[in-house]
Copies of this chain bind each other. A is one copy, B any other.
Amino acid sequence: MTPQRLSVLDIVAARTGHIGADEVWNLAKEQHPYVDLATIYRTLQLLKRVGVVTEVIIGNKLHFELADQHNRHNHMVCSTCDGVQTLSPDYLAEFSQRLEQEFGFTPDLDNITIGGLCSSCQPPG
Contacts and interface: CB of A to CB of B under 8 A. Distances in A.
Interface of A: 57, 60, 76, 78-79, 85, 87, 91-92, 94-95, 98-99, 103-108, 111-112, 114-119, 122
What number of copies of this chain does the assembly contain? 2
Nearest to A98: B91
Contacts of A57: 60
12 contacts: A79-B108, A85-B105, A87-B99, A91-B99, A94-B95, A103-B119, A104-B119, A106-B122, A107-B114, A107-B116, A108-B115, A112-B114
B85 A103 contact: yes
Contacts of A79: 108
A85 B111 CA distance: 17
A115 to B, nearest CB: 5
Given A92-B95, A98-B91, A108 B116 contact: yes
A104 to B, nearest CB: 3
A106 B117 contact: yes
A111 B114 CA distance: 8
The 8 closest A-B pairs by CB, nearest first: A104-B119, A107-B116, A106-B117, A108-B116, A108-B115, A106-B116, A107-B114, A95-B95
